[in-house]
Each structure stands twice: as C-alpha cells, then as structure tokens.
C-alpha cells in the first residue's frame, strides 16, 4: 500500500510539473509552485526527485518510453514495418511538444551548464542510436535490408527523427508534420531496403 501511494504521489508531481512548466516556463516554475499544484509537501517532492532538473529528466524518460514500448510490441513484424509503426507514433509525440519550445530551450540551457545533467540529457540519443543499429542488423539478417552500414543507417534514422522533431516545435504550422514524417521515413527506407521487398505488398503488411 505504501509503495502504491508513493507511485501515485510521484505521478501527481509529474502531472503538475508538466502543467506548470508549460504555463510558466522551466525557469519560472519553482518547486514550491509544483508542490502546491500537486498538493504534496516539499518533503514528499524531495523524496521522489533530487531537484527540479531531476524531475525534468524524469519527464523526458517517461516521454521516450512510448518509443521503447513500440519497439518491444513490434514482436514478429519485419524491421521496415516496425519503423513505419514508430514513425506513425511520432506526430503524437510532436503535438505534445508544441507550444513548449521555451520550456525545452530553458531546460537545455541550464543542462548545458552542468556536466552531469548534460550527460543524462544526451544519453537517450546514444541509447536510440544503439537500438536502431540493432534493428538494422536484424533487417539485414531477415533479408529486408541491403548490406548497409548499421551504425551509419541508425544515425541517419535518428537524425531524421531529431530534425523532424526540432522543426515541428520551431515551426508547428510550417508543414503537415504527420504526412511529412511518414513520407520522409518512406524515402529513407527505400534507400535501405532491397529493391525486391519494396512494393504494395510491403505497404499492406505494414498496416496489420
């Protein structure tokens, strides 16, 4: 019971923090503000999070877990199918980041001045690059991908995703980001896949 209450408190703090960070910005939202919005004591806050920065990193992790779940859920789908499914999830991720540009920039700026926070901030990029590299190796083994360099291909996928994400928060109305993400991934996949495996049958199987 105590454990469950702890998880609930943690969840309430994180939910309140998203609201306060979005409304007031990362700098202006204080731990006090977050505590009163969540209805918890400062003692409870510091039991769960070492600092405001640690809380923000926790939100970042939560937010990235969707991608991990998608990869785990992919199960027996081929690698191109999995990548298309992950791309379809990207616009939801983007939408939740809209209008929060200031918050992100403020956090990155603070993080860039603190080495250990910075390390934790960039860790996800390296994590996803490794995961994508493993996926590409699986694609080569299963015969859907050409004999490409797995690390370079993983980096290309990650850079495309990071670029789409940054541009969509910088310029939300500059494009239909959902359609843009899908089409961009299709072009990259066409460059990675064996010619024989591209075609209507692949596209149909990508939906299941």
Contact residues for its own copies (CB under 8 A)?
A: 101-102, 105-106, 108-109, 112-113, 121-122, 125-126, 148-149, 152-153, 155-156, 158-164, 166-167, 170-171, 174-175, 179-180, 183-184, 186-192, 195
How many other β-carbons are positioned within 10 Å of the β-carbon of residue 93?
A: 18
Beta carbon nearer to its own copies, 41 or 159: 159
Contact between 177 and 97 under an 8 Å Cβ cutoff? The reply is: no
Residue 151 Cβ vs its own copies, minimum distance, rounded to whole Å: 8
Contacts with 25 (C-beta within 8 Å, 6 or more apart), sequence order = 102, 103, 106
Beta carbon nearer to its own copies, 62 or 171: 171
Q: How far apart are CA 152 and CA 135, in angstroms?
A: 12
Give the tokens for residue 68: 């991990």
Beta carbon nearer to its own copies, 49 or 56: 56
Beta carbon nearer to its own copies, 85 or 186: 186
Residue 16 Cβ vs its own copies, minimum distance, rounded to whole Å: 23
Residue 46 Cβ vs its own copies, minimum distance, rounded to whole Å: 28
Alpha helices in 74-173 (DSSP H): 79-97, 101-112, 115-142, 150-170
């Amino acid at each position: 019971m105590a454990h469950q209450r702890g998880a609930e408190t943690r969840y309430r703090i994180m939910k309140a923090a998203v609201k306060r960070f979005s409304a007031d910005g990362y700098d202006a939202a204080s731990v006090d503000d977050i505590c009163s919005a969540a209805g918890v004591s400062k003692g409870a806050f510091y039991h769960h999070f070492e600092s405001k920065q640690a809380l923000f990193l926790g939100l970042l992790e939560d937010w990235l877990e969707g991608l991990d779940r998608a990869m785990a859920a992919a199960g027996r789908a081929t690698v191109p199918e999995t990548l298309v499914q992950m791309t379809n999830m990207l616009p939801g991720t983007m939408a939740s980041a809209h209008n929060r540009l200031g918050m992100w920039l403020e956090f990155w700026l603070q993080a860039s001045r603190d080495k250990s926070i910075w390390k934790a901030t960039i860790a996800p990029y390296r994590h996803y690059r490794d995961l994508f590299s493993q996926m590409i190796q699986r694609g080569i083994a299963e015969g859907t991908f050409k004999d490409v360099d797995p690390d370079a291909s993983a980096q290309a996928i990650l850079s495309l995703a990071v670029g789409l994400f940054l541009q969509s928060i910088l310029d939300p109305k500059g494009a239909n980001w959902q359609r843009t993400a899908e089409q961009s991934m299709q072009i990259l996949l066409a460059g990675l896949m064996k010619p024989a495996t591209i075609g209507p049958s692949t596209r149909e199987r990508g939906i299941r």
